[in-house]
Amino acid sequence: MKKVETISTVNIARIVKELASYGHNQKEIAEATGLALRSVQVKYLPEYASGRLMIQKKLRRAQLDKALIDGNCQMLMHLGKFYLNQTDQYLESLDTEDVKELDKATTAELLTLVSKDLNAK
């Protein structure tokens, strides 16, 4: 026989999801709702996980807005490293002589070097 959910169960599920979306941990949610911690961990795990995903989406959106709209350089670098696997190591690995040679290169020479490097990958 299929278990019928009561209105209070549905409301508690919504509350668990909402509290999780504000960053509350399972213990805090149990205390706020009067549920046993184990109930939050087992019975309401899907709602808890969904709420945690919501906060991650909100944070990601705020980071992107900060970077793209405000032009925040630090945030752009962070997002480039996280999403595009960009790194500072490439320039750090160049010898001083290599940097001097790059400084002397014309734009056309640099474009040729970059296209060769991209084709090699």
* pLDDT tens across the length of the chain (121 residues): 555 555 577 899 999 999 999 999 999 999 999 999 999 999 999 999 999 999 888 888 888 888 888 888 888 888 888 777 777 765 555 556 666 676 777 777 777 777 776 666 5
Domain layout of the chain by residue ranges: 1-86, 87-121
* DSSP structure class, residue 105: -
Predicted local confidence at residue 80, as pLDDT: 81
Tokens of 59: 């944070």
DSSP 8-state secondary structure symbol assigned to residue 88: S
Residues in the chain: 121
Buried b (16+ CB within 10 A) or exposed e, 34-71: ebeeebbeebbeebbeebbeeeeeeeeeebeebbeeee
Report the pLDDT value the prediction gives residue 2, as an integer from 0 to 100.
Answer: 58
